[in-house]
Chains A and B, each alone.
Chain A
Amino acid sequence: MLLLAGSIVVSLSIGSSGLPLADVWGILIHQLPWMSDPSKQWDASEIAIVTQLRLSRVLLAVFVGACLALAGSGFQGVLRNPLADPFTLGVASGCSVGAAFMIVFGYTAWIGLWSVPIVAFGTGLVTLVIVFALSRARGAMNVESLILSGVIVQAFLGAIVSFMVSMSQGVINEVMFWLMGSLSTRSWEHVQLIMPFAIVGSPLMFRYAQHLNLFVLGERHAAHLGVNVERTKLIVLLISTLLTAVAVSIAGVVGFVGLVVPHLIRLLVGPDYRIIVPLSAIGGGIYLLWADTLARTVLSPKEISLGVVTAIIGAPFFAYLLYRRKVQQGGGASA
């Protein structure tokens, strides 16, 4: 929590416009009604940069990161698959198909901002079903074949999204940038959209944390201890997909967050999901906040897309996990 607060402070203070630190905080504090000090005046554009752009963007990074990390811990727990995350399962791509469709063809006016995540949720679910069906070919679902199915579906869906983008006129640049994962050109509306999901999602997932612990022992053990296995799996998968859909609708496909964060947390605190779930939400916020801060400052004033930053960190991490699994299985230590 402290680390999260600290990261917010630092990230708020860094930016491409080169505002002095004191001004940034002066403006922010000035916004609080009981702190307003009429003697100080700032430029209207400076106020806008801080409150409209920077603050909203920082909060968005925190919430998107929290959603993705929660979804990752949910997928990993229910599937008992350490390599699962919204991105590697193809769910994020599935959501992006729905979201891109809405954005490219301009149906966003239908029920306002909410229409994008709702449609993204629908296509994300369909994708999850397809990926499961592909990997379950011979009865059991093994760890690698599930991820392989995810990658295949992801490649296909990526092509569909690119095709839709080429068909559209005008908004290509914006959509392409969103696709690669980005938090630029987002506003307070988006913060309002994602905040309830991140805030409700955490306790909802936490309610199933002990169930996920029992899943570690196997589905039968869980069933004999009174867990309604099928219902629990369904609910956790739905929550995870919904959190993914909301995050994708806002930030595009930001890969590997749901993989990296719960793993790091697990390394730090052990296997108990009652600790992993809440810390993943906080850790996801911190992780994405720093990733986004890097994205907008490294080549300042140009921006790198956020998805590029998380992939550069996440893909090698994924490779390492895959390698470690192979070593463990080769050694036969724990099958």
Chain B
Amino acid sequence: MIEAKQVVKRIGNRDILQEISFSVGIGRMYGIIGPNGAGKTTLLQLLSGTDAPTSGEVLFQGQAITSIKRKDLAKRVAVLQQGGIPAAAFTVREVVQMGRFPFQNWLGEESADSEQLIDDAIETMGLTALANRQVDQLSGGERQRVALAKVMVQEPELLLLDEPTTYLDIGYQVQLLDTVKRWQQERQLTVIAVLHDLNLAAHYCDELLVLQHGRTAADGPPSAIMKPELILDVFGARAVILPHPETGVPQLLLAPSVPPSERRS
């Protein structure tokens, strides 16, 4: 589906990414993790085709992604950005409709009617009651749902998520990733997600890529990545790894060096 080959990104004289290579097959969910400043967001920009690598290349279904016309690419690749939709005076429905932009001609017309699709996306994200509210009156979590509804109507083959759970309450974090996962399984959608929560990453992703200082520190299935030595090396945190009692997926417990303060009774 998508493949990165020896991708290097240099900004000024700083190497943001060095020799990153990996490939993601159709219908897979691929996670990118790593500490802040490791180059995760930059890598996602390169994968979305809005930015070109300094050297190396990103291939989308065998074709150099920078050679595909922007509007054609937007019919197949959608991006859910960090922070969701900014405050704007547009209504929820108007913003969701904007997801159809790549399919419209300059008069805003489409070959087929997309109203049903838009209604469905709004309903799936539980936004029906808010459909005619302006997005600047919504909470951060509601706006993130609007953003997801917008990428849904874009009907992509590849979905890129940039820290989609930041600023969300834990309930919404799980809800959002469940929705993406369900969608991935139903439609053979390929997903690449930058995640900062390692436990969620281990749970939802088939494979993980660990970035450190712009290099690949490790990649493989969650069971191979969730190792105390690796976590200490990359994140500088001591951790205990336990299997999840319900699913058996490796989960991480932080192990601070200072013992907890004594309880006063």
Where the two chains meet, the residues of A that have a C-beta atom closer than 8 Å to any C-beta of B are 207, 210, 213-214, 216-218, 220-221, 223-228, 270-272, 274, 334-335
Contact = CB atoms under 8 A, between A and B. Distances in A.
A294 B79 CA distance: 52
Interface string B22-57: 000000000000000000000000001010000000
B140 interface: no
A140 to B, nearest CB: 15
Interface stretch (B69-77, B110-118, B177-185, B236-244): B69-77
A207 B106 contact: yes
Closest 4 CB pairs of A and B: A226-B74, A226-B71, A224-B79, A226-B102
Contacts of A226: 70-75, 101-102
B70 A272 contact: no
A272 B91 CA distance: 10
Contacts of A272: 90, 94
Contacts, number: 61
Interface in B75-115: 75, 77-79, 81, 85-90, 94-95, 98-99, 101-102, 104, 106, 108
A213 B90 CA distance: 9
A213 B94 CA distance: 10
B50 A210 contact: no
Given A223-B50, A224-B78, A225-B154, 11 more contacts: A217-B85, A217-B86, A221-B85, A223-B48, A224-B50, A225-B98, A225-B102, A226-B70, A226-B73, A228-B70, A335-B87
Contacts of A334: 87, 136
Interface of B: 48, 50, 70-75, 77-79, 81, 85-90, 94-95, 98-99, 101-102, 104, 106, 108, 136, 154
A227 B94 contact: no
11 contacts: A207-B106, A213-B90, A214-B98, A220-B81, A224-B81, A225-B99, A226-B73, A226-B101, A227-B101, A271-B89, A274-B108
Nearest to B50: A223
A332 to B, nearest CB: 11
A156 B106 CA distance: 40
A328 to B, nearest CB: 10
Contacts of A220: 50, 79, 81
Contacts of B94: 272
A224 B98 contact: no
B74 A225 contact: yes
A271 B79 CA distance: 24
Contacts of A207: 106
Contact of A224 (B74, B87, B108): B74
B71 A221 contact: no
Nearest to B98: A214
A218 B79 contact: no
Residue among A217, A226, A274 with the most chain B CB within 10 A? A226
Contacts of A335: 87
Contacts of B72: 226
B88 A216 contact: yes
A164 B75 CA distance: 55
Contacts of B73: 226
B74 A210 contact: no
